Amino acid sequence: MKQTNLAIVVPCYNEEAVLPSSATVLKKIMYDMIDHNQISSESKILFVNDGSKDKTWSLIQDLENEDTIFTGLKFSRNFGHQNALMAGMKVAGNYADAVITIDADLQDDENLIPQMVASFQEGNEVVLGVRNDRSSDSSFKRWTAETFYKLMNQIGVQLVPDHADFRLLGRRAVETLMSYHESNLFLRGIIPQLGYSSEKLYYQRKPRLAGETKYPLKKMISFALDGITSFSVAPIKAIMSLGVVVIVISLIMMIYALVRFFTGNVTNGWASLMTSLWFLGGVQLVGISIIGEYIGKIFAEVKHRPRYIIETDDYSETQSQSVDDQE
């Protein structure tokens, strides 16, 4: 059987604090798998530098010089986690048989990697890492995540709860994924739509080794909103129901106002007028902003701008060189 050419894709944004130790851990796992003939010696660890402002890129270059198993991809600026994953998978998918994505802080259990590869070799095109326990997260993060999955489920978006971006995709799945051209990327929503035979492997999530989270609350909320609005029009439908409710309330208000008018107590009407005015104004603003959110998404999609810009691609360079060498 042909040995699997594996690529591990690691998105990195300001990860100088954690990169050296993560690199050592991943390298050991790779060499163990190479020694056991599970994967080919051409396999690579591909760091995607997502426009880091610290020494991340020079650290990646040092690693490349230290060992050819390391290679790097550099964006011209910050394009975000999901785009870094997409770029890494696209570039690696040109040569590798299977691509694993894992965060630079190694909060996901890297010891699952050999099992993921084994599962791929047994014929699974998609292997998802799923957390079976969130005790390392703050209770706030746990609560927001739980609410998010519940909400997504209710509005009809199929997600695998507690699966983030730790997964293996075979080359075929990567190619299929690349045919999703949306600029508003929410990978964990797209993956279940790919189909193919898949397996879930469970693990315990660890705390971050070093450095800080790159997902503060503000980014988390906008990521969640992206997830909802890229996959569901439920919010637009909700405005419709809200509108009906408001009309019913305003009819009741009208009857109330008329009754007050005929009983000759008109000055009282001011309160009801003001309340309905403000209430309706608020509802309309919410409605417009939700619709605006979708129009914004459409705007971003129709422009068809590149999802990311690659400044340096050492992975493809080394791969095409080794092809040249063989010729």
Q: Residue 56: name its binding partner from ligand UDP, Mg ion, none (Cβ under 5 to 8 Å by kind).
A: none
Beta bridge partners of 168: 100, 127
H helix or E strand, kind and range, residue 8: strand 6-12
C-beta of 164: minimal distance to Mg ion in Å? 9
Q: x/- contact string, 97-116, with Mg ion (CB under 5 A)? A: ------x-x-x---------
Do 43 and 6 meet the contact criterion of CB atoms below 8 Å apart? yes
C-beta of 103: minimal distance to ligand UDP in Å? 4
Q: Residue 11: name its binding partner from ligand UDP, Mg ion, none (Cβ under 5 to 8 Å by kind).
A: ligand UDP
Residue 46 token pair = 């591909």
Tell me if 9 contacts ligand UDP by CB under 6 A. Answer: no
Produce one character per residue of 193-212: b if its CB has 16 or more CB atoms within 10 Å, e if not.
ebeeebbbbebebeebeebe
**Percent composition of the chain: helix, strand, coil (DSSP 3-state, to 5):** 55, 15, 30
Do 293 and 175 meet the contact criterion of CB atoms below 8 Å apart? no
Return the residue of 64, 105, 110, 162 that touches ligand UDP, per CB under 6 A.
105
Tell me if 88 contacts ligand UDP by CB under 6 A. Answer: no
Say how far apart CA 113 and CA 8 lie, in whole Å. 9
C-beta of 205: minimal distance to Mg ion in Å? 9
Tell me if 74 contacts ligand UDP by CB under 6 A. Answer: no
Q: Is 201 helix (H, G, I), strand (E, B) or coil?
A: strand
By CB under 5 A, name the binding residues for Mg ion: 103, 105, 107
By CB under 6 A, name the binding residues for ligand UDP: 11-13, 15, 50, 78, 80-81, 84, 103-105, 107, 213-215
